[in-house]
Amino acid sequence: MQVLDGKALATTIKGEMREEVDQIRLSGGNIPHLAAVLIGDNPASESYVRSKVRSCEEVGFHSTLIRRGTEITQSEVLEIVEQLNNDPDIDGFIVQLPLPKHIDEDAVNLAIDPRKDVDGFTPVNVGRMTLGLPSFLPATPNGILTMLDRYGIETSGKEVVVLGRSNIVGTPMTILLSRKGSPGNATVTMCHSRTQDLKFHTRRADILVAAIGIPEMVTADMVKDGVVIVDVGINRVEDDSRKRGYRLCGDVDYKSLESKASAMTPVPGGVGPMTVVSLLMNTLKASKRK
């Protein structure tokens, strides 16, 4: 089985980006600048934002981290967004999700200038993606496409099953893999919590993208031999044998699938690092447009 090592690939791509940024610096061009807004103290969000800031340093980007406590009001969040929209030094920014329950995530998302929406979540970018027009693609789906392309995984004419229908991963993944292009030109089935006879669909998959948020839900009896598996899940499961008291796992049972899959992403070290790289790619694109 081929391990689709997102961590190693991300390191390679960041090296390529570092060389490009060095050339921009030598020519006196605009150094990309990414800002992140982090509200509260969610451990997963903290870890993800730290990874983004560290990656910016590795490729030579400028980065800004704006931290606020959970007591922040919605109007104050919208004010921060407006300031970033109007700051000429900021090429792109993200507002890290999830937000505290009293903050309307849709309102915040709608307030972001699409030209700086390097997460690819605003309606303008989602609409342009759907029509196949130039846009900022959502970070995780774009990272998966990049991984499939770099590892030479053929998608044209293949049966792809996507587990999950979120606006962040599942829905854009079905659009991107089914449209004309490479990777793309696949026949895509989206499955979710209301899907009848899930195994019927998953057993037909040449490529399975699991983004359903249920630890190790996909087992060996649910797939055919030779399947390519992209595991988007990152779940914390209690494990008394571990020093930390828990272990991280994906949405697929990795051990039982090693003997059946032809290629598979590990968790951690698979899709996660590619999501961060995709965010940097979008920021570089935003900087070039400016």
Please write the tens of the pLDDT for every residue from 200-212.
999 999 999 999 9
pLDDT on residue 239: 78
pLDDT on residue 289: 86
Which one of 52, 116, 260, 285 is the catalytic residue? 52
Whether residues 149 and 232 share a domain: the answer is yes
Instruction: Indicate which CATH number applies to the domain containing 106.
Output: 3.40.50.10860
Assess if residue 150 is contained within a domain.
Answer: yes
What residues contact 249, with CB distance under 8 A and at least 6 apart?
215, 216, 233, 235, 237, 267
pLDDT tens for each residue of 86-125? 999 999 999 999 999 999 999 999 999 999 999 999 999 9
pLDDT on residue 270: 97
Assess if residue 233 is contained within a domain.
Answer: yes
Is 119 known to be catalytic? yes
**Does 165 belong to an annotated binding site?**
yes
pTM beyond cutoff 0.75: yes
Which one of 96, 117, 253, 260 is the catalytic residue? 96
Whether residues 150 and 241 share a domain: the answer is yes
pLDDT tens for each residue of 8-18? 999 999 999 99
Whether residues 165 and 234 share a domain: the answer is yes
Is 96 known to be catalytic? yes
For the chain, what is the domain count?
Answer: 2
Q: Fill in the amino acid letter for 151.
A: Y
Is 52 known to be catalytic? yes
**Does 166 belong to an annotated binding site?**
yes
Whether residues 97 and 187 share a domain: the answer is no
pLDDT tens for each residue of 23-48? 999 999 999 999 999 999 888 788 88
The pLDDT confidence band at residue 244, using thresholds 50, 70 and 90, is confident
Which one of 91, 119, 231, 251 is the catalytic residue? 119
What residues contact 218, with CB distance under 8 A and at least 6 apart?
163, 202, 208, 210, 229, 251, 252, 253, 257
pLDDT on residue 63: 96
The pLDDT confidence band at residue 236, using thresholds 50, 70 and 90, is confident
The pLDDT of residue 242 is above 90 = no
**Does 55 belong to an annotated binding site?**
no
